[in-house]
Amino acid sequence: MRLDFWSGVMAVALAVVALLMVWPLFNIFTASVIDNRSGALTLANFARILGHPAYRGALINSLIVGAGGMLGAMLLGIPLAMLTTRFVIVGRDLLATLAVLALVSPPFIGAYAWIMMLGSNGWMRALLADIGI
């Protein structure tokens, strides 16, 4: 099998991904399951963290937010996908563009948008305060 230029580029890209992503994740995982004193494999680090009420509460809140976000995305995305594929809808191309744009925009832009909407001077916070929520 002859390797061409693009195979080499792909090999270099995979090596960079492995170096910058996989290796640090592997180091974090191994550090989490090895006891610092004895060097033995253990799950005591996880038990200690999950035993602390603040960390356990943060984990539960994160799971609730993640599940809620997933449910909201499904409730919005599945009907929109069905509508745009089965029917000719005005603005279908705009909806498709907005959906892809949401995927490629950096996460900090979305976070900033939420802060601008729900922050102390946010327009949505003011609207909710006006209606008594």
| Tens digit of each residue's pLDDT (9 = 90 or more) over 32-66 | 999 988 989 999 989 999 999 999 999 999 999 99
Vertex 102: Cα angle to 101 and 108 (nearest 5): 115
pLDDT at position 10? 93
Vertex 5: Cα angle to 4 and 9 (nearest 5): 120
Predicted TM-score of the model (pTM): 0.56
- Tell me how long the chain is: 133
Checking if the pLDDT of 1 tops 70, the result is no
| Tens digit of each residue's pLDDT (9 = 90 or more) over 12-25 | 999 999 899 999 99
| Tens digit of each residue's pLDDT (9 = 90 or more) over 81-127 | 898 889 888 888 888 888 888 778 888 888 888 888 888 888 888 88
In the structure, what pLDDT confidence band is assigned to residue 6 with cuts at 50, 70 and 90?
confident
